[in-house]
Structure 1
Amino acid sequence: MILGIGEILFDQYPEGNRLGGAPFNFAAHLKALGLPVTFVSRVGVDEEGDAILDALVRRGFDPGMIQRDPRHDTGRVTVTLDDDGIPQFTIVSDVAYDHLAYSDAVAAALAQGPDMIYYGTLIQRSHAASATVMKILENRSPSTRCFCDLNLRKGCYSQNSITRSLVHCDILKLSDGELSILKDLFNVRAADKLFIDDLMHNFAITWVSLTSGVMGSTLFTRNDVFFADPDEQDAVVDTVGAGDGYAAILAAGCLLGWQPARILQRAARFAGALCRIPGAIPEDSEFYRPFLGWMNDGGER
């Protein structure tokens, strides 16, 4: 079982709202691909919260893992796209997911011994939710792998929250922009690979996945470095959520034992397919049909 922790919210576009939040996007892709996923979050007692619960039920999630907050609104983000389809986010603060609690349902899910726990930094921007995430990570089974997708958003992280996340991390995913932010925060001027080598050594990280947009992606392991070109971008609609899709395939490949080079190729292909549809997650389950076979072939094709 994969335990995803974090924000679920509405991305507010000029043309309407779309369900989103990096942890939810990640969990929704894995669920649609047939992997067992439990998703933990918190929403308001409002129309948006009701709509989120309905959407989760339709996608096969347990709504009992979603906490309701009577005092804080459901999370939301305003999104605008530039001429290249690159999103600009404005994230509303002090919303329901900022008050995520360590509930009996969370403890029960953790007691099942998940194979992987996914988390990021946005859910840790508040003291309350950060404490909950840390309690989950500190009480996990020793065999549970921790997947940290930093997803650094302006004003929603600190050096402290990043360091706490890295302490528990087995698999780290970050973009080249986030790598630059880390180097600045830690006041490092070394070459990227040397900095990543130091991160892996100092925090006992097994894999570091670095995405670089049109320049492709790289996977650093303890013993080797793997590179993949990006998927062909022949008809980009928008890039919202492409990184979350990439992370989902990276996690699936890790859990299913695919070879690293195959993981990168498939993650790039999946992320590229997402860039050709509007929004972060597809409404039509047919989107996933070309990728379902990956889940059973051992990563050999």
Structure 2
Amino acid sequence: MKKYKDNKSAICFGEMLYDIFPDGRLPGGAPMNVALHLHQHQIDTHFISSIGRDEEGDSLLKMLEERNFSTRWIQRNPAYQSGKVYADVSKNEDVSYEIVYPVAWDYIETDDQLIELAKETQIFLYGSLAARGTNSRHTLLTLLAHANTKVFDINLRQPFYDRELIQKLLQHADIAKVNEEEFSLLAQWFLGKESEETAENDIYELAEKFKLDTICITRGSKGASLLAEGKLWHQAGFHVTVADTVGSGDAFLGAFLSQMLHNKNPQECLQYGCAVGAYVASQKGATPQVNTQIIQDFFK
């Protein structure tokens, strides 16, 4: 994998919102979750998003400020409400979502300062959901043209994606992170594969097709696989009592990227990401307090 210099820095672009549960609400949105995990791992992290001028927006900003996370790049939109997702967690291993549309993060605007930020920052993380609307998609593509290492957290959410959109976003990526179900769909779309099983050859083939340096496939409780440095790496899952799986994939990715930025080898990055993802699945909510000491204790 690429070697990174001392100024460890990241941008996360996209949605911030409230996940609404039957018993209350929790802050969420994949890029915000990843940003918070990167921040907890001492990475200089910038988050680009937009929220409404409403109680939910005020509350989300307060939450970030309480975690000493910069809100400089979070825009306020008076015309649209802050994001909301209604989560069904009745099946612990298979959370489903109803995502409100349109909301403020569908209207993220670009400017020269954001372009300069993209040029100066080491990694730029983005997903497919924030590209569902024309405005934010235009901003995203503008910034990707200037970004350095580009990390595509595919994160498919029905009905807000199609083959054309995913292909366009993959063409910009250096690193792609998917789960098994998402990889199966990519293999069907772009490699003409019919089987839902992930064959090792398919991983190499997809990387070659889209000139990806790295592909990471998360497998839930079974761990994860990684194509990096021209070979495949595997990590078994850690056994935990699941509280809920909301945000566990985001925790994995934030932890994985933090180790990548610290120039750890692929196996170390994969193991640490899986450990943090499992730990978060054992806690309530997407972004519980996590640090290296907590994870070292968890290993024990």
Answer whether TM exceeds 0.5 for this pair.
Answer: yes
- Aligned residue pair count: 286
Where does residue 6 of structure 2 map in the other structure?
A: none
Give the CA deviation at 1:228. 0.6
CA RMSD of aligned residues (A): 1.8
- Confirm or deny: 8 A CA contact 2:54 2:81 kept in the other structure: yes
Give the CA deviation at 1:278. 0.6
Write out the 4+ residue segments of structure 1 that deviate beyond 6 Å after TM superposition: none
Which runs of structure 2 are paired with 1:106-125 in the superposition (5 Å)?
A: 106-111=114-119, 113-125=120-132
Q: Which amino acid aligns with 2:257?
A: A
**Per-residue Cα deviation, 1:131-173 (whole angstroms, up to 9, x for no partner):** 1100000022xxx211111000111111122112111111110
1:83 and 1:189 map into 2 onto residues whose CA distance is: 29
Where does residue 267 of structure 2 map in the other structure?
A: 261
Q: Which amino acid aligns with 1:76?
A: K
Residue 134 (str. 1) matches residue 141 (str. 2): yes
- Confirm or deny: 8 A CA contact 1:169 1:205 kept in the other structure: yes
Q: What is the aligned counterpart of 1:61 among 56, 62, 69?
A: 69
Q: What is the aligned counterpart of 2:173 among 159, 169, 172?
A: 169
Residue 5 (str. 1) matches residue 13 (str. 2): yes
Q: Secondary structure at the match of 2:72?
A: helix
Q: Which amino acid aligns with 2:168?
A: R
TM-score normalized by structure 2?
Answer: 0.90
2:71 and 2:223 map into 1 onto residues whose CA distance is: 37
Structure 1 range deviating more: 215-224 or 39-48 = 215-224
Residue 277 (str. 1) matches residue 283 (str. 2): yes
Give the CA deviation at 1:237. 0.4
Where does residue 297 of structure 1 map in the other structure?
A: none
1:83 and 1:122 map into 2 onto residues whose CA distance is: 23
Give the CA deviation at 1:289. 5.2
Give the CA deviation at 1:88. 1.0
**Per-residue Cα deviation, 1:119-140 (whole angstroms, up to 9, x for no partner):** 0000001111111100000022
Q: Which amino acid aligns with 1:139?
A: H
1:160 and 1:132 map into 2 onto residues whose CA distance is: 18
**Per-residue Cα deviation, 1:257-284 (whole angstroms, up to 9, x for no partner):** 11111111111111110011111011xx
Structure 1 range deviating more: 97-106 or 26-35 = 97-106
Q: What is the aligned counterpart of 1:207 among 201, 211, 214?
A: 214
Give the CA deviation at 1:85. 4.5
Structure 1 range deviating more: 38-47 or 190-199 = 190-199
Q: What is the aligned counterpart of 2:226 among 219, 227, 241?
A: 219
- Confirm or deny: 8 A CA contact 2:275 2:295 kept in the other structure: no
1:126 and 1:187 map into 2 onto residues whose CA distance is: 27
Q: What is the aligned counterpart of 2:98 among 74, 90, 101?
A: 90
- Confirm or deny: 8 A CA contact 2:179 2:218 kept in the other structure: yes
Q: What is the aligned counterpart of 1:231 among 209, 226, 238?
A: 238
2:242 and 2:37 map into 1 onto residues whose CA distance is: 19
Where does residue 157 of structure 1 map in the other structure?
A: 161
Where does residue 195 of structure 1 map in the other structure?
A: 202
